[in-house]
Amino acid sequence: MWIVKIAVCIKQVPAYSSEMVSNETGTVIRSGIKSMLNPYDLPAIETAVRIKGKIGANIDIFTMGPREAEAVIREAYSRGADRGFLVNDKRFSGADVLATSYTISQAMKTVDSYDLIICGRQSTDGCTAQVGGELAELLDIPSVNWVNKICDIDDCSITVEQLLEKEKLVLKIPYPCLISVEPSIYSPRMPSLKLKILASKKDIKILSLKDMKDKDFKHYGLRGSATKVEKIFPAPKIERQDIIEKDPTEVAKDIFKLISLVKDL
Amino acid sequence: MSQELIYQIDEKYKEYLSDESRMTGVADSISFPKEENEIIKIITRLKKSNTPITIQGGKTGIVGCAVPIKGHVLNLSNMNHIKDFIKSAGGEYFIKVEPGVSLLELNKEINMLENKEELFWPPDPTEPSATIGGIASCNAKGICSYAYGDTKKYIDQIRVVQSDGIIRDIKRGEELISFANSKIDLIDVYLGGEGMFGLITELTLKLKPKPKFIWGIAFFFKYKEDIFTFAESLITSNLQSQESYIAAIEYIDRETIDIIEKRKKFMSKLQSVPDIEPENTGMIYIEIHGDKEESIETIAEKLMELAISNNSDPDKAWALSGDIEVEKVRNFRHAAPESVNAFIEEMHQQDFRITKLGTDMSVKNENFSSILTKYETDVKNENLKSCIFGHLLENHLHVNILPKNYEEYKRGITLIEKWAEYISLKNGRVVTENGVGKLKKSLFLKATPPKYIDEIRKIKCMLDPEGIWNPGNMI
């Protein structure tokens, strides 16, 4: 029986807020900061698991990071993923979007040819929302971002709804293809106890430079990056406190105006 | 000088006449001291006119402890500094705080501590905006009290301003006083004393090494009978190991789930929690803490077997690990009282006589099924609606009556009085962690032996002879 082969790209991110970026040094204060699965990747996992529930699928998880990033693969297992691949090599560190996409494309090529690759919209640390698009380009497959709904899926294509600013497009995409899903696509399920217990016993395959088809270390990590981050700094906070003293109807009108202004920002 | 610290109560300060109990009180003046010196000045001035003082923190209490009935409101929200982090020669960790520090701020500060070992302060009552002074004054507990005990255990020293303006440092174990034919630690008079004996201006909190791993598991049940048998098996099974332990077992009934889900769209912290299938009649949330994840998994496997044999589907049980993930289910549990309080607020807006109608009773000599069935049957017989949730193993259930009008409110009060009598007969506790305050005063006085009340009065006379602190609370 044919089943769709799905790869889901996920990332372990620091659970930090803007308060944890140093204004002086322009770096993230990592001391004491915990890690978590990028929240935008949860709907990507959920989309894959729903497809699996509907028509049957094999779900492979790919993540690039240190050994600790195994935790996010185990989390994906507890939500219904089948196999996990940790792309890990010292020479991969310092990668920008381009080098990250290249490394993941190489890793995927070593494992399988996927029908469908699913990414989350963006990560909460880099926030570029570009890895999905670049990965598709490097794999030479079509990609659709801002996917808000899976309309249909069969053995040769997937039909999705793409949410644009003022309109929605319904697109039928032949396999192989990549979609980046919006958080609104599905509410992620909670990890199941049964799968979580099994998750700790499942294998995770480590993929390093020696496993890649392209073994030239200059194509990976900092050396393979086209961009360099000079400084990270928190966005300036707009702190304003207004006191409106009028009769309640006028106050309500003013509050409504303020809300409209904030919505337009 | 002190005059500038004291403000007359007017429209601007109206919010300080009420708290989460929805009781509304009266007062003539209010102050917001920033330091101990200012407190002394305020007290000195108020003493001249013999003005009683109600001490106030985050106004998150649900029994009206901080609601004034007369005199002055001394609000401690500006005394919100974290003063010191101490490592004792014996290797214990302490943090010194002012009473107006909120639980949220405290936890944030502890997380930022530069210490080799990760630390935490175990008391974890529902409301993160509760102040440490308030938590100490009602000796709150939180969901993990099964493993860690109450707040008292984690306060080593306090600094108290007496009614005569004298400041005292009281350290645990240094001074004992007589109470009901035995000796108790003086610090424990103030902790849980609901502000009746003095004003706490500083607290030295004892921190503990944080368990390295934490799991939260929520089981769902279609039938009440399965909840009862699962609860029984939790009591009779050995679920502890050297490296891990059960920290919390919480029961949440369907009505509570429904009231939370109705309000979910207004609570951003619940956005990541999926809806619970309508056929489920209740859930049991279990938290496991430990230093080895393998041993937590062993307990989780045992729980899974128990759940299967009690018809709870382990595929549908939620299992989360790590602080960030576990927080999602904790938020759901914490949303229970928040949702009930929001309902009471709506009713209070319609009829100001309606206030919080929740129980805080615990009884050990009774099984969970019979006590829960009793509450449910009584509520049904009175044609009332309720939400029931709370700590399962100590039969410490919070039964919240949801009155739609004043008639129902009155019937609810009668029901709670009946339960208090019943719990007293079973040697249970009528007030466990929320305090007595003003709302539960008559309940407490009826259910407590007169000799015990006399002892409290004796201590009140000894420590506050002029009766200036928190008039109307407890006794």
Query: Are A190 and B273 inside 8 Å of each other by CB?
Result: yes
- Give residue B76's pLDDT: 97
Asked if A197 and B304 come within 8 Å (Cβ–Cβ), the reply is yes
Query: What is the structure's pLDDT at B205?
Result: 98
pLDDT for res B453: 92
pLDDT score, position B29: 97
Is the predicted pLDDT of residue B52 greater than 90, yes or no? yes
Among chain A residues, the shortest Cα distance to B301 is held by: A197
Q: Nearest chain A Cα to B298, which residue?
A: A197
Counting every residue written for chain B, the total comes to 475
**What's the mean pLDDT in B307-336?**
94
According to the model, what pLDDT value does residue A26 have?
58
Give the model's confidence band at A19: pLDDT under 50 very low, under 70 low, under 90 confident, else very high: low
Q: Which of A76-85, A207-216, B34-43, B358-367 has the lowest mean pLDDT?
A: B358-367
pLDDT at B3 over 60: no
Whether residue A142 is predicted with pLDDT greater than 50 in this model: the reply is: yes
Determine if the peptide bond prior to A176 is cis (ω within 30°): yes
The span from the CA of A9 to the CA of A180, in Å, is: 10
Cβ <8 Å between B112 and A34: no
Instruction: Give residue-wise pLDDT tens across range B357-403.
Output: 999 899 988 899 999 999 999 999 999 999 999 999 889 999 999 99
Position B434 scores a pLDDT of: 81
Q: How many Cβ pairs closer than 8 A exist between chain A and B? A: 68
Residues 6+ apart with CB under 8 A from A233: A21, A23, A26
Residue of B nearest to A43 (CA): B272
Partner-chain contact B300 A193, CB within 8 Å: yes
Which residues of chain A lie closer than 8 angstroms to B303, CB-CB? 193
One-letter amino acid of B1 = M
Closest Cβ opposite residue A193 in set B112, B217, B274: B217
pLDDT at A22: 62
Confirm or reject contact between B378 and chain A (CB < 8 A).
no
What b-and-e string marks burial along A55-81, b requiring 16 or more CB atoms within 10 Å of the CB?
eebbbbbbbbbeeebbbbbbbbbbbbb
Averaged confidence pLDDT in chain A: 90
Contacts of B362 (CB under 8 A, 6+ apart): B391, B394, B395, B396, B423, B428, B429, B432
pLDDT number for residue A30 = 55
Residue A28 is predicted with a pLDDT of 59
Chain B residue with Cα closest to A16: B324
State the SS3 of chain B: CHHHHEEECCHHHHHHHECCCCCECCCCEEECCCCHHHHHHHHHHHHHCCCCEEEECCCCCCCCCCCCCCCEEEECCCCCCEEEEEECCCCCEEEEECCCCEHHHHHHHHHHCCCCCCEECCCECCCCCCEHHHHHHCCCCECCHHHHCCHHHHEEEEEEECCCCCEEEEECCCCEEEECCEEEECHHHHCCCCCCCCEEEEEEEEEEECCCEEEEEEEEECCHHHHHHHHHHHHHCCCCCCCEEEEEEEEEEHHHHHHHHHHHHHCHHHCCCCCCCCCCCEEEEEEEEECCHHHHHHHHHHHHHHHHHCCCCCCCCEEEECHHHHHHHHHHHHHHHHHHHHHHHHHHHHCCCCCCCECEEECCCCCHHHHHHHHHHHHHHCCCCEEEEEECCCCEEEEEECCCCHHHHHHHHHHHHHHHHHHHHCCCECECCCCCCCCCHHHHHHHCCHHHHHHHHHHHHHHCCCCCECCCCCC
What confidence score (pLDDT) does residue B168 get?
A: 96
Residue A258 has pLDDT above 60, yes or no: yes
* Cβ–Cβ contact A14 with B under 8 A: no
How confident is the model at residue B442, as a pLDDT? Answer: 86
Distance CA B410, CA B402 (A): 11
pLDDT digits (tens, 9 = 90+) for B127-155: 889 999 999 999 998 889 889 999 999 99
pLDDT digits (tens, 9 = 90+) for B177-230: 998 889 999 999 999 999 999 999 999 999 999 999 999 999 999 999 999 999
Is the CB of B323 inside 8 Å of chain A's CB atoms?
A: yes
Mean pLDDT of all residues belonging to chain B: 93
Classify strands B244-253 and B282-290 as parallel, antiparallel or unpaired: antiparallel
Judged by a CB distance cut-off of 8 A, whether residue A193 touches chain B is yes
The per-residue pLDDT for A70 is 96
A197 at interface of B, judged by CB pairs closer than 8 A: yes
Q: Chain B closest CA to A188's CA: distance in Å?
A: 7
Collapsed DSSP state (helix, strand, coil) of residue A6: strand
Question: Residue range B63-68: average pLDDT?
Answer: 94
The answer to whether the CB atoms of A190 and B318 lie below 8 A apart is yes
Q: Which of B2-16, B81-95, B252-266 has the lowest mean pLDDT?
A: B2-16
Q: Which of residues 74-133 of B touch A (CB under 8 A)?
A: 111-114, 118
Task: Specify the higher pLDDT residue, B126 or B427.
Answer: B427
Position B2 scores a pLDDT of 46
Average pLDDT over residues B317-328: 93
Percent of chain B topping pLDDT 90: 81
Residue B135 touches partner A, C-beta closer than 8 Å: no
- Six token digits for residue B3: 């005059």
- B45-B49-B54-B55 Cα dihedral, nearest 10 degrees: 10
Interface test with A, best of B230, B264, B272, B292 (most A CBs within 10 A): B272
Q: Which residues, other chains included, contact B91 with Cβ-Cβ below 8 Å and sequence gap of 6+?
A: none
Q: Any idea which of A19-23, A139-143, B176-180, B259-263 has the lowest mean pLDDT?
A: A19-23
Residue B1 pLDDT level (bands cut at 50, 70, 90): very low
Q: Cα distance from A195 to chain B (closest Cα, Å)?
A: 7
- Determine contact, residues B73/B56, Cβ cutoff 8 Å: yes
With a pLDDT cut of 70, the percent of chain A lying above it is 92
Provide the token pair at B440. Answer: 């539960």
